[in-house]
Chain A
Amino acid sequence: MNTYRPNDALELLMRKLQDRDAILVTLVRDAINAGKEDTLPINSRRIHSQAEKPHEYRKIVPFSTEESLQVALDVLQALLIEQPLLVNEIAKNFADTSEIQIERHTETQIVEEDGHDSHEFTLTQIPVEYIEEQRRNLASLKELITFSGE
């Protein structure tokens, strides 16, 4: 049982994200604001002389605060855990090659040379223990934002 409410948890998480990265908080906010699809019943109706038949309709509804917290964690899982896993899978499947690069600036882009950003992103294998630590961190956070049954 937590001493804080779902609203407190969501507000804290969004504030922490906002403090660190404007794009990251936008990604999380967009995922939450997209809402979810729900199937809702309406009162059964008579159609002429036929017996009442149930009818359901689809509606986009907002996530609850608790669901929003889970959605936020899904976004963080994709960015902070899945992406490093992708890097390591790529490195594994390209074991024959000593260097793998992904273009940052494409062949048609005009690039101002400022010496700070290379034109290519070079893949470097990520220590597996780092990824495992983050999986544990995410699992711990997930426990702390789970309010079901309270």
Chain B
Amino acid sequence: MATIEDLERAIDQLLDHPLGVEQYQVFQSAGKLYEAYVFGLCLKAVRELEITLTLCGIQGSSTPFVFRGAPGQIHSKTKNYGYAEFSLNGYDCEIHAGIEFKGNSGMTHELDVCIMRAKDAERCRDPLSFDDPPARSLICGWECKFYTRRLPKNLGREFVGLMSDMGGKVRLSGLCSNSDHEQLRKYFSLQSRPYFCKKLTPLEPENEASFIYDIKTELRKLTAT
């Protein structure tokens, strides 16, 4: 029979552990941890295609590899913001986190994680032609949300709106989250809408595998011809 003292001990054991309250406070300040995780899954997908992938930094070296704490511009050299580049069947691509794209309306939108055409990325980084990459340069794009509770529904509407301004050439897009919402499942179930990558977390390896598989499939299709 469990007593209230047993319960109290169990609570203390969880909260006072080295990975308890003190550690969570450290992670909370990181903010973009989940985006970095999804970026890492993209790297894994490319590596599973047995392609050579190179980590880069806008200042030159890839060390340290810096993730932006807020949406930024691809050409910003304030810090050594990192990205990755790879080539598949002659298609040169880059993977980025937290950069802004120019939508078809002219409004800029941040993609938490994206795969884009390297040619456009290079041009936008060139000091003679600094710019935000155009919507046509986006191959895959994801919104990444780490929530401790059920996802708010407005995230779905916002992302659908964002992707509609990115045009019809994006091959793969999705709202990624460790969480879920039954109504968002329905909302994203329509054929024309992005994927809902719900419960995308190391706690659900099948969902990770499915996410990686979708990226590999689209990259193979893109570069097949």
Contacts and interface: CB of A to CB of B under 8 A. Distances in A.
A108 B78 CA distance: 10
B68 A106 contact: yes
Given A31-B148, A90-B33, A85 B3 contact: no
A31 B152 CA distance: 11
Interface residues of A, number: 69
B15 to A, nearest CB: 6
A122 B29 contact: no
B51 interface: no
A83 B30 CA distance: 10
A123 B36 CA distance: 10
A24 B20 CA distance: 11
Contact of B36 (A12, A98, A102, A108): A102
Interface string A88-126: 111011101111111111111000000001001111001
B33 A102 contact: yes
A79 interface: yes
Contact of A21 (B21, B55, B179): B21
Given A84-B23, A87-B33, A101-B64, A79 B11 contact: no
Given A34-B150, A141-B14, A79 B69 contact: no
Given A8-B4, A75-B148, A103-B79, A137 B43 contact: no
Nearest to A98: B63
B196 interface: no
A16 interface: yes
Interface string B113-134: 0000000000000000000000
Contacts of B19: 80-81, 84, 126, 130-131, 133-134
Nearest to B62: A97
A105 B66 CA distance: 12
Contacts of B201: 82, 85-86
Contacts of B12: 16
A107 B17 contact: no
A137 B33 contact: no
A79 B34 contact: no
Contacts of A9: 7
A107 B37 CA distance: 22
B65 A30 contact: no
B33 A71 contact: no
Nearest to A137: B14
Contact of B21 (A20, A85, A120, A145): A20
Given A79-B28, A81-B203, A96-B55, 16 more contacts: A2-B7, A3-B1, A4-B4, A24-B21, A78-B148, A86-B202, A89-B40, A92-B40, A97-B62, A103-B32, A123-B36, A133-B17, A134-B17, A140-B10, A140-B13, A144-B7
The 7 A-B pairs at the shortest CB distance, nearest first, are namely A103-B69, A93-B40, A31-B149, A107-B78, A99-B64, A106-B70, A85-B202
26 contacts: A2-B7, A3-B2, A4-B2, A12-B4, A12-B8, A17-B15, A21-B21, A24-B21, A37-B182, A71-B149, A74-B149, A76-B14, A78-B147, A84-B27, A93-B40, A97-B64, A97-B65, A100-B64, A100-B67, A102-B67, A107-B76, A107-B79, A108-B70, A134-B17, A134-B20, A141-B14
